[in-house]
Structure 1
Amino acid sequence: MIRKYWERYKKLRNSGVLGINCRNVHYIGTYNPRCHFPNVDDKLKTKLLAAEYNVNSPELIAVIDTQHDIQSLSEKVANFPGFVIKPSKGSGGKGIMLLEQHTPGHFQKLNGQAMEESTVRLHVSNILSGLYSLGGKPDVAVIESLIQADPVFEDFSYEGVPDMRIVTFMGFPVMAMIRLPTAASDGKANLHQGAVGVGLDIGTGRAIGGVQFDRPISHHPDTNNALTDLIVPHWDRVLDLAARCCEMSGLGYIGVDIVLDRRLGPMLLELNARPGLAIQTANAEGILPRLRNIEALGKVNFTTERRIAYSKKYFSRFPESDSDVIHYPVSPDSVTSEL
């Protein structure tokens, strides 16, 4: 039995798959100073930092931090037809409520379900009591404007808003995927609840393949459209936003979650100091060779544009010509001289 698991471990290691222990000890432990964790674990702090660094994110409508403030909920959102209520220190998408319409005393969720204002107030009260926060500590409720999803993804999504996860290392975008809501996930872009994860080519934003519940699939389970037909627009802007988040957060190894708004383009949804490993499954490729490639560069003072150019050149699945195909390992000296 031990030999069986050892052989499986060696196979995964040799294929470049990053495991949870290596991620925690080497990448999170080495490149993410704990003093900067609040910059990403606290969504309110992330939003304030985004404004400071001119990183596009949904508009902050209000912050509710006392039970007394809940009574004025309707007044705070009166000028916004749609909005999102989320715990500032929540995780895994828990406690997030999306509402698209409201009249005095009544609200409506994205799926059309009607809700009494008392129900929404109770939800906010639960957020403040720490029901959804890390460690169950008291929290605050963040209310922000509702994303108007780009219609480009309508053929690949069920009800909800797809979001992209870009794993960024030392300011270099190294691997990407998009999470597509399904009926199984209740319209949420959450892989654990049944959303579809689709790997994205770093160079072009083109879909590589998809998985649902860790199993490969070729078509969206609800729309039946081929996942490989998906191409993310504004891809250079998506990569630029992701690349600038390392400096903004003070962390070297992060997951950047981005959504596309039909009017405002790519917007930062949130940051994750402990990005999951499922992105490797969605891309059918291990991320470890890419991370080691960046480490081999040492301390280089690249601009954001040069970091993006590097990632697009060396990590793309769809190079412009056969001569652009790069094989690992790459010599850092040859790379820096080219760029």
Structure 2
Amino acid sequence: MNNPEIEPGLQPAQTLRVQEVAVYRGPHLYSRTKMVRIQLDLGRVEQYPTNLLPGFVDALLKHVPGLREHGCSYGEPGGLVLRMEEGTWLGHVAEHVAIELQNMAGAGVARGKTRSVTNMPGVYNVMFEYENEDVGLLAGRFALELVNFLLPIELQGLAGADMIAPSPLALFAMPEALRVLRAMHSEIAFGPTTASIVREAEARSIPWRRLDNSSLVQLGYGKHIKRIRASCSSLTSEIAAEIASDKELTNRLLIEAGLPAPLGTVVSSAEVAVEAARTLGLPVVIKPVDGNHGRGVNICLSTQSEVEWGFEQARAHSSQVLVEQQFVGGDHRILVIGGRLV
């Protein structure tokens, strides 16, 4: 589509630019709902609300027909379409697209909001609810890529999308993007037991969050926290033992609790392990994510060849390998029997 008001020959390298990405996993400044926030600079597109982009709304609805049901500020189906016909900015549009892409993938989300950033003209915080964090982030990226794709060629350009999530697609295409989101949602969807407990928690206004891509779920916050994995609960020690056997999850939960723990990253190849080690700072520790008894764990890895060797040693014991910062200190193992340290 062409817009005659756009001066010919002006084709900026980037128009839309992602400046920040945040994931809120509990109550936060903007809502009690867990949300993704993408800070988006519209650049030149700030001058082009949807009513100044001929054909944009019709093309968008063709790709994402479910947007017709979004009520937006009007509170009834068709409200978003009316807002776009009157003229709204593309950050607001991307918010609704990210929500609808998740729903098309099989999630059930609805809440979102987009607000301008104070003293930063053309910059918006685009926020939308998610059910699964990874699906939500990728939906956010695909939403921006779709919006960018539908712009006149003179206004196209998207920078910083990798800050949101890496894309498995070499080139964005809506059918492929939807296929990826549906497959991802299906792969990590809750089983029937966990799903029924989560739905009951929602019915009782109990906040919940998913802690991994399996079925580990946290109910409540602070001192009221309870955790479940399918039909098992943290009223027994089983879940604690399972968490402790997953080194990456344990680290993440310690850091979220404000306790000192080494930063680390899960890697899938020796090359990525070397890159992660350089980012974290040498020397590093490399270990299997779910090993025990110290098998496959190696410390003081300071060179590329040592890191590559450490990766192969760890991979022999686990399909996932963790590269971590090295902390120096004492190693203590304790045994508690009947509530007493023995």
TM value normalised by structure 2: 0.32
TM value normalised by structure 1: 0.32
Larger relative CO (CA 8 A, sep 6+): 1 or 2?
1
